[in-house]
Chain A
């Protein structure tokens, strides 16, 4: 048994398969609890997380995607480290990403992503998604079993975003191979994260060229929209800005969306009644997806850096402290969600979970992620009945095991082996 009092959430692999008992331990210490390592306060309270998310002046996103590893490149001094942070920001990892920006620069970058995945765009993309879903399903349904993550969810999510952005087909596979996993690996992080950033650098070359082509001539895709875009004050973004944004959109939405689909299927397999209910009434799919994001959301932990000394919920937070927002725990806060470990399709506040974050950094891909999972669930339910977990891979009911990626930022099923009857 892991000793929760001394456990290091950021390196302890025993917390990967099921982090929830640990989250409940933290909750028992209060909605904001000090971790024994790395100068971190962990937030498990819903209201407290919202308060922090809504105060980006005090809580910078500079470490949003990386958390407390690696260490800050400076020693925080005093009760306001805003200037220190600004002076050292470029030495931190991946701070060119929109998710790690603050203030005006963030608002500028974000403005370009505001109306990307609107109802009309998603509607016009629906047919593509349905056809793609069928093409992928065709390749294995007759067999009656599959690894949903590798054979369906991952290629589906990658191809959808590649198509929307306008990445040429020939390059899509190269990208998938080169991209590798997201930040936050548990164990051996520093080398890994350097590799991660280097891993992204190849995208710059490709995206730079796509954008240059589209500044000459629009192709009707999102990259063309970017190539013509202006910031709200009328100024023109640099190609570098646009490359960061496009590369992030390409990277950010794939793994999370694929793993959400995996989580949905896991929940279906574990709750056959629920599977039946949603199968028979597809209008429940959106509520089902929100509940799965709340209950088993792909983003387990996002971070903030306190740049000013402050107090939240009676807890003093010193400038320089890392705040780990444990979205997976906040979404099970019983003060906000009654019976939080039950999937309820009729929760009045179902959409208010923090699985896509909230505030200035709210996920810009949420509508796309939901549309992708909706289309996929519809086609999966149409083409498979009696979906069950493979006992060979996951064990017997009551004693099932799952492998999650060893990452502290994400809750990501590595694989999900299912069995089903194919519908002809």
Chain B
């Protein structure tokens, strides 16, 4: 199983086992770490699943859709290139070793 390293808002680091085809939001939610609210449950509608991905992995990720763009644009904590919605990224083997950080709450 691919592994991903997540830094929580309080700065704790966790290594999580991520099942292929799950979204990153689901991986974080299903773990017991203090993650994020994911208020819309992955429907690309709330932006509470905002993360920063390690720049080294940006190229491996699916492109940002128009909807994701609209939501990220509404966040006060958006950072160029590395901001993503974790519910819009499905785990694949090529994401093994991914490092990400949970963005601050809006």
- Using a CB–CB cutoff of 8 Å, the interface residues on chain A facing chain B are 54, 107, 110, 113-120, 232-233, 351-352, 357-364, 366-367
Contact = CB atoms under 8 A, between A and B. Distances in A.
Interface stretch (B3-11, B54-62, B66-74): B66-74
A115 B41 contact: no
Interface string B23-59: 0001001000000011111111110100000000000
Nearest to A123: B70
Contacts of B29: 54, 359-360
B40 A366 contact: yes
- Which one of A113, A119, A233, A358 has the highest number of Cβ atoms from chain B below 10 Å of its Cβ? A119
Contact of B44 (A118, A359, A362): A118
Contact of B43 (A232, A360, A367): A367
B87 interface: yes
Closest 4 CB pairs of A and B: A362-B41, A118-B67, A232-B21, A367-B45
A119 B41 contact: no
16 contacts: A107-B26, A110-B42, A113-B43, A114-B42, A114-B44, A114-B87, A117-B45, A118-B67, A351-B39, A358-B37, A362-B40, A364-B41, A364-B43, A366-B43, A367-B40, A367-B43
B78 interface: no
B29 to A, nearest CB: 7
B43 A352 contact: no
B54 to A, nearest CB: 24
A232 B48 CA distance: 23
Contacts of B90: 232
Given A362-B38, A362-B41, A363-B41, 20 more contacts: A54-B29, A107-B26, A115-B67, A117-B43, A117-B45, A118-B67, A119-B45, A119-B67, A120-B66, A232-B90, A351-B46, A358-B37, A359-B41, A360-B29, A362-B40, A366-B40, A366-B41, A366-B43, A366-B45, A367-B40
Nearest to A362: B41
Which label, helix, strand, loop or mixed, suits the secondary structure of the A interface?
loop
A118 B48 CA distance: 15
A414 B43 CA distance: 30
Contacts of A357: 41
Interface residues of B, number: 21
B4 to A, nearest CB: 17
Nearest to B40: A366
Contacts of B48: 351
A107 B42 CA distance: 11
Interface in B54-98: 66-67, 70-71, 87, 90
B14 to A, nearest CB: 16
Contacts of B38: 362
Contacts of A361: 41
A366 B48 CA distance: 14
Contacts of A360: 26, 29, 41
A104 to B, nearest CB: 10
Contact of B21 (A54, A233, A364): A233
- Which one of A54, A360, A362, A367 has the highest number of Cβ atoms from chain B below 10 Å of its Cβ? A362
A358 B40 contact: no
Contacts of A233: 21
Contact of A118 (B21, B22, B39, B43): B43
A370 to B, nearest CB: 9
Contacts of A120: 66-67, 70
A117 B71 CA distance: 13
Nearest to B32: A54
A364 B43 CA distance: 7
A118 B41 contact: no
Contacts of A113: 43
Contacts of B87: 114
Nearest to B41: A362
Nearest to A348: B105
B39 A352 contact: yes
B70 A119 contact: yes
